[in-house]
Amino acid sequence: MKNWLWIMLSFGVIFLVFVMNHFLDKSQQQPNMIRSVSLTTSTSPNQQNIVEVKKMYKQTTDYFDYEQKQKADSLRMYYGQPGSTLNQYKELQGVQPFMIHDVDVHWKSEQHVIINIMKTNHQHKNKVYKRFNYNLNEM
């Protein structure tokens, strides 16, 4: 009877060590880190506003080979005054970030900005893939 008790106690301690190790590993893992790559920056004609278009990347785990990979996740337009930290952004919806070849920014006025997402066609010429119109006063 005493041997049975020691065997169960040993299995319990080993199980407890494995469970604690599992939870400690999970708590030390970094969350999905996001990095960004600036595609273009443009200042309005009288330098009152600035926009920066960034491609955002998310870190993911490939569960087939358990490798950490960075995947293009979204496209954002950051905006604000020149010289300030650009914290405000608008998510550019309906664009597949991996298909983007170029971004053009045109200003209709100090507040109205047009962003053209360009894609290269079969003749290797840039063509407008998606167009966004924003009035920065209304955002």
Q: What is the pLDDT of residues 43-54, one digit of tens each?
A: 999 999 999 999
- pLDDT score at 21: 63
Is 24 a residue whose pLDDT tops 50?
yes
Asked if residue 56 has pLDDT above 80, the reply is yes
23 pLDDT higher than 90: no
Question: Terminus-to-terminus CA distance in the chain, angstroms?
Answer: 75
pLDDT category at 31 given cuts 50, 70, 90 is very low
The pLDDT value recorded for residue 50 is: 96
Residue 1 above 70 pLDDT?
Answer: no
Q: What is the mean pLDDT of the chain?
A: 82
| Pairs from 96-104 (Cβ < 8 Å, separation ≥ 24) | 97/55, 97/56, 97/72, 97/73, 98/72, 99/129, 100/39, 100/55, 100/75, 100/129, 101/126, 102/39, 102/126, 103/39, 103/40, 103/53, 104/40
CA torsion through residues 35, 39, 45, 47, sign: positive
Report the C-alpha gap between 137 and 88 in whole angstroms: 13
